[in-house]
Structure 1
Amino acid sequence: MSEPIYNVLFICTGNSARSIMAERIIDRWGQGRFRGFSAGSHPKGEVHPLALEVLRRSNYPTEGLRSKDWSEFARPDAPVMDFVFTVCDKAAGEMCPVWPGQPMTAHWGVADPAAVEGDEVTRMMAFRTAFRELENRIKIFVALPLASIDRLKLQRELDRIGQIRTPKTDHPGG
């Protein structure tokens, strides 16, 4: 019997950086067991260039990425989500659509790298920090024994993962 493929939706207000990066990260680390999607409550309509740059520098594919409205995933013909994670505090406080299939949800807030001002190095470091934090959380998530864990314990684990912070160890050249 083959393992199911879990659909995971990452939500952010603008769907231009954090949720986009998470979509690609889970596709890689989920090794075919997870399929990533992303959307925004008020999508910007374009993916932030620095999000694309961080993905490229980390050897993640960027083709096909687009900023989209979360209503795409609330339609009857949308893929049914198993998990929905908000990755920004603003989206976590908004009234979300009703997701078909009653997915498990959690808030995994990550500081908005697109809001960081300063020179190119400072802004790139903010994107790399957000990327690392998402990657660390996703690695922990995909390692959970989903087939053998009850929903209550799984919810506790999802919430715990959302509290994990990544130490700042980045340097401008790295």
Structure 2
Amino acid sequence: MTKKYKVLFLCRENSARSIMAEALLRELAGHRFEAFSAGPEPALRVHPLAVAQLRPGVSDLGVLCPKSWLEFTGEWAPRMDLVVALDETVAANHAPVFPGNPALCSWDFADPLADGVADAERVRLFEKAFWQIVRQLSAFIDSPKYAVPAAVPARATPLHDACTRAPANLPNL
């Protein structure tokens, strides 16, 4: 029997990339993974362009909201198996200590909320980030390395390897 892995996606404002990753992992493989997202400076709401990318295929948008990563650091917080930084400013050396000693990794995607971007270009950046996340998550989900017996401690799992290795067949957008 295998356990359901808990994955936390981190992004600075937790309003775009990490929200899309959380929603997509829940939609694509919610039966195998519990997905969460957070950030050090959570926005007041999910960015409307992130919602626009998710709306066609994601059924439960109502549960998505920006959260502080501090919600995942206390004794009461769920024990993550994997923490994925989607923003270089929240990479492992900047992130807080999460209970349970989860594996940490980075998936680097361009920030669709970067300053100085025209509206038409911002829409294209959101679409690009969405499809990059879809491809990375698909490769991650399809990797046989995440499925280990529940008796094996989370730190001993090969999740980190599946996370850090970019699939060779993914083109750069």
Which of the five TM-score ranges fits, normalised by the shorter chain? 0.7 to 0.9
Q: TM-score, normalised by structure 1?
A: 0.84
Residues 50 and 144 of structure 1, relative CA distance in 2, 3 Å threshold: same
Query: Is 2:23–2:58's contact at 8 Å kept on the other side of the alignment?
Result: no
Query: Is 1:109–1:162's contact at 8 Å kept on the other side of the alignment?
Result: no
Identity %: 36
1:130 aligns with 2:124: no
Residues 93-108 of structure 1: pairs in structure 2 closer than 5 A: 95-108=94-107
SS in 2 for 1:106: strand
Q: TM-score, normalised by structure 2?
A: 0.85
Distance (Å, rounded) in 1 between the aligned partners of 2:6 and 2:158 = 20
SS in 1 for 2:61: coil
1:147 aligns with 2:147: yes
Distance (Å, rounded) in 1 between the aligned partners of 2:159 and 2:54 = 29
Distance (Å, rounded) in 1 between the aligned partners of 2:15 and 2:171 = 21
Q: Which sections of structure 1, spanning at least 5 residues, go unmatched? A: 169-174
83-92 or 141-150: which moved more?
Answer: 141-150
Match of 2:109 in 1: 110
Match of 1:69 in 2: 68
Match of 1:20 in 2: 19
Query: Is 1:106–1:159's contact at 8 Å kept on the other side of the alignment?
Result: yes
Residues 68 and 148 of structure 1, relative CA distance in 2, 3 Å threshold: closer
TM-align CA RMSD: 2.4
Matched length: 166
Match of 1:156 in 2: 161
